[in-house]
């Protein structure tokens, strides 16, 4: 969001992320499209030393004329999404109150097809013998 003086302020209700589409896109009404993505979050180390990664399934909805451009998104596609978080409360037929959230997309960007690219482990820079100081240069 741009202010009157031209500076940019990130909206409070804003979500930006990417993920792997879980199901083919489906139409919603006359001008909407719905997606479900698997968003891969931060990596972490569990107490037992094994690695884990946050995984969140996000429901995405987009309304308006531009939504028709995304009806051909298929399961396995990788998309980037920017939008706002919408919280919904409903009651099941059994009388249980449930809460759900979805992202109301302002923009969807196609990032690729197929499985998500694997994360590359960062390797520490290795010092070559040319970069290493000679024994004569050590001041002790």
Contact yes or no for 71/35 (Cβ under 8 A): no
The two tokens of residue 131 are 């970069």
Q: What is the model's pLDDT at position 114?
A: 64
The tally of CA atoms less than 13 A away on the side-chain side of residue 111 is 16
- Do 15 and 81 meet the contact criterion of CB atoms below 8 Å apart? yes
* Number of domain units in the chain: 1
In this structure, is residue 130 part of a structural domain? no
Q: Specify if 2 maps to a domain.
A: no
pLDDT digit string (tens) for 111-130? 988 654 443 343 444 444 44
Q: How far is CA 103 from CA 63, 73, 114, in A?
A: 11, 17, 23
pTM: 0.63
For position 45, which CATH number holds? Answer: 2.40.50.140
Question: pLDDT, tens digit, for every residue of 37-91?
Answer: 888 878 888 899 999 888 888 899 998 888 888 888 999 999 999 999 888 888 8
Separation of alpha carbons 16 and 53, rounded Å: 18
Vertex 24, ends 119 and 39: CA angle to 5°?
A: 30
């Amino acid at each position: 969001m741009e202010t009157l003086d031209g500076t940019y302020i990130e909206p409070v209700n804003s979500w930006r992320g990417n993920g792997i589409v879980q199901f083919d896109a489906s139409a919603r009404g006359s001008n909407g499209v719905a997606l479900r993505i698997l968003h891969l979050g931060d990596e972490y180390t569990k107490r037992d030393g094994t690695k884990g990664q946050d995984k969140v399934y996000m429901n995405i909805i987009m309304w308006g004329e531009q939504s028709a451009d995304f009806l051909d998104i298929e399961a396995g596609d990788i998309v980037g999404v920017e939008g706002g978080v919408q919280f919904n409360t409903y009651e099941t037929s059994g009388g249980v109150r449930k809460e759900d959230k979805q992202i109301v997309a302002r923009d969807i960007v196609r990032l690729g097809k197929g499985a998500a690219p694997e994360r590359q482990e960062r390797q520490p820079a290795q010092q070559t013998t040319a970069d290493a100081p000679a024994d004569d240069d050590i001041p002790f």
